[in-house]
């Protein structure tokens, strides 16, 4: 079994998973431009300096589930089965067939 050099590989997280090392570098272009316009480190953006002063936090998602999905399969299946059984009972009662 041979993998080509172009095969996709899992991305490794760096030593700085929150990517906050860039904020400690005072020589960045964006920071210089903001400081020229009156902003200083530790203040939020906006007319009343109401913006966030902290970085956006990153959380590692190490599974193949969609965003917001849970692994609780059994409870979901039982809930759907109960709904399905109730629907069948109502249909049987409406059409006069009674219990099957």
Distance of CA 28 to the CA centre of its chain: 28
Check whether 81 has a pLDDT greater than 60: yes
Q: What is the pLDDT of residues 2-31, one digit of tens each?
A: 555 555 666 666 667 666 777 778 888 988
Residue-averaged pLDDT of the chain: 77
Q: How confident is the model at residue 61, as a pLDDT?
A: 76
CA distance 90 to 100: 12
CA distance 56 to 52: 9
Share of the chain above pLDDT 90, in %: 6
pTM over cut 0.85: no
| Three-class secondary structure assignment of 16-58 | CCCCCHHHHCCCCHHHHHHHHCCCCCCCCCCCCCCCCCCCCCC
């Amino acid at each position: 079994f041979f993998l080509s050099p172009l095969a996709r590989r899992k991305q490794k997280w760096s030593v700085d998973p929150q990517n906050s090392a860039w904020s400690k570098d005072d020589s960045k272009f964006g920071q210089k431009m903001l400081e020229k316009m009156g902003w200083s480190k530790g203040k939020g953006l906006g007319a009343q300096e109401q913006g966030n002063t902290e970085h956006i936090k990153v959380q590692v998602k190490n599974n193949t589930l969609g965003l917001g999905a849970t692994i609780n399969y059994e409870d979901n299946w039982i809930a759907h089965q109960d709904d399905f059984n109730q629907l069948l009972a109502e249909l049987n009662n409406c059409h006069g067939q009674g219990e099957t």
